[in-house]
Amino acid sequence: MTKKFINRLDQGLSDLKESHLHREVRLYNNFECNLASNDYFQLRFHPKVIAGARRACEKFGSGSGASPLLSGFLPCHKELLEEIIVWKQKPYGMLFNSGFVANQAILKHLPGKKDLVLADRLIHHSLAQALLSCPAKFKRYSHLDMDELEKLLQKNHENFDTLFVVTESVFSMDGDYPDLKKLVALKHKYPFVLVLDEAHGTGVFGENGGGLAEEMGVLSDVDILIGTLGKSLASMGAYVLSHNQSVIDYLTNVSGEYIYSTFLSPSQVGAALESIKLIKTYDEQRKKIRRISKYVRSQLKQNYQEYESPIIPIFIGDPHKTLNLRDILLKNKILVGAVRPPTVPKETSRLRISLHSDINEESLDILLNLIKTWKKD
Ligand SMILES: Cc1ncc(COP(=O)(O)O)c(C=O)c1O
């Protein structure tokens, strides 16, 4: 390696440090209350989920052994897919190794040169980055702004072969969500392919934990539904579902992300399968998440009062101050995420509280008091 090359990297790193935007992998093991995971029901510790992983591992091996088209697609993958298809009420689907690659595959391969993709300004990096290598043109609309989206649809719907609208259900860094009923009404007026990423809605919303689309009664209007196995399903991997077989067949044939990667391991599959079975019955846990979400939001008196998701941002703005509050909370044995640009827009650095159904409510009061005291200083 040349000195010039390493100097360039070091310069980049020191710029990041100076602006308090440097990141490092840390082993957090000194906390009692974890408010920084996406495991909204703490299922990764559930004996049935662990037993499911063990069973699948013992039966099918520690790895899948190959990519899915070669021989990596095993009976456990088939069983999981069938379970998801029934749960999410879509007849066709496929599994991916992560939500990140599933999103990349969808936006890189499905929109064509003569198409237009309209995407919420705050969509997850896995989608935003894929837009840059998508053959279609794309435009971003202001976050959750259905009026602006309607104007874009009105202006463009006759000029392109196919329009796509891409949004998350529960936004990963803001915990808010679009009015999916309004979105679907727009779809009836100006036909488009609706791509919905339910990474954070799954498990938490809907009578069966099917997600926000289930909750809002619009599942049948979602054309391409993405969900991950790594959040409330306490495993790793993802699925893409559709009511149209061609979408799945096409991705199976052209998506390098799918074709050229060793398929997810049996233990991941076995864990996800058990999590789904449990989550479907988790009415009380879902109610608890909504209740504590409302409580924390009301105590914080910030924006975002009307949402009931487990993700609650505490806006601070300055990245250094954000890290400072994160460290104070950690000293008090509470772990929360500190999120800074470029993950979130400039001047919106924040703590990201991620609630889960096993939380002891006293720790929430400790958290809220610490935040209130810090603000006074
Ligand atoms: C909205 C959203 N989509 C996709 C992903 C990626 O999922 P995975 O962690 O399975 O790669 C994430 C993960 O943070 C996410 O928040």
* Range list of H helices, 206-244: 212-215
Q: Is 0.95 topped by the overall pTM?
A: yes
Residue closest via CA to ligand 1's atom 14 equals 172
Ligand 1 centre to CA of 102 (Å) is 9
Report pLDDT digits (tens) over 166-202: 999 999 999 999 999 999 999 999 999 999 999 999 9
- The pLDDT, as a whole number, for residue 291 is 96
Q: Could you tell me the pLDDT band of residue 250, with boundaries at 50, 70 and 90?
A: very high
CB atoms within 10 A of CB 133: 10
- The pLDDT, as a whole number, for residue 317 is 94
- The pLDDT, as a whole number, for residue 301 is 82
Ligand 1 centre to CA of 175 (Å) is 14
pLDDT at 136 over 80: yes
247-257 average pLDDT score: 98
Cα distance from N-terminal residue to C-terminal residue, the chain: 48
Beta 334-339 vs 33-35: how paired, if at all?
A: parallel
CA of 101, closest atom in ligand 1? 11
Q: What is the mean pLDDT of the chain?
A: 96
Share of the chain above pLDDT 70, in %: 99
| Upstream peptide bond of 345 is cis (omega within 30 degrees of 0) | no
38 is catalytic: yes
Q: Is 227 in the pocket of ligand 1 (CB under 6 A)?
A: no
11-31 average pLDDT score: 94
Query: Exposed (0-12), middle (13-18) or buried (19+): which is 297, by Cβ within 10 Å?
Result: buried
Q: Is 168 in the pocket of ligand 1 (CB under 6 A)?
A: yes
Where, residue-wise, is CATH 3.40.640.10 in the chain?
A: 47-279
Where, residue-wise, is CATH 3.90.1150.10 in the chain?
A: 22-41+283-376
- The pLDDT, as a whole number, for residue 302 is 77
364-377 average pLDDT score: 86
Q: Is 352 in the pocket of ligand 1 (CB under 6 A)?
A: no
- The pLDDT, as a whole number, for residue 25 is 94
101-110 average pLDDT score: 98
pLDDT at 377 over 60: no
pLDDT at 121 over 80: yes
Q: Is 124 in the pocket of ligand 1 (CB under 6 A)?
A: yes
145 is catalytic: no
- The pLDDT, as a whole number, for residue 30 is 87
Report pLDDT digits (tens) over 306-354: 999 999 999 999 999 999 999 999 999 999 999 999 999 999 999 999 9
137 is catalytic: no
Contact yes or no for 105/257 (Cβ under 8 A): yes
Instruction: Look up residue 370 and give its two tokens.
Output: 């610490």
* Range list of H helices, 157-265: 180-189, 212-215, 245-254, 256-259
pLDDT at 225 over 60: yes
Ligand 1 centre to CA of 312 (Å) is 17
pLDDT at 113 over 80: yes
Q: Which CATH architecture has domain 22-41+283-376?
A: Alpha-Beta Complex (3.90)
Report pLDDT digits (tens) over 32-76: 999 999 999 999 999 999 999 999 999 999 999 999 999 999 999
From 3.30.930.10, 3.40.640.10, 3.40.1280.10, 3.40.190.10, which CATH number describes the 47-279 domain? 3.40.640.10
pLDDT at 376 over 60: no
97 is catalytic: no
242-258 average pLDDT score: 98
pLDDT at 375 over 90: no
The phi-psi region of residue 9 (left if phi > 0; otherwise alpha if psi is between -120 and 50; otherwise beta) is: alpha
* Of 173, 127, 180, 183, nearest in space to 152 by CA: 183
Ligand 1 centre to CA of 200 (Å) is 8
Ligand 1 centre to CA of 99 (Å) is 5
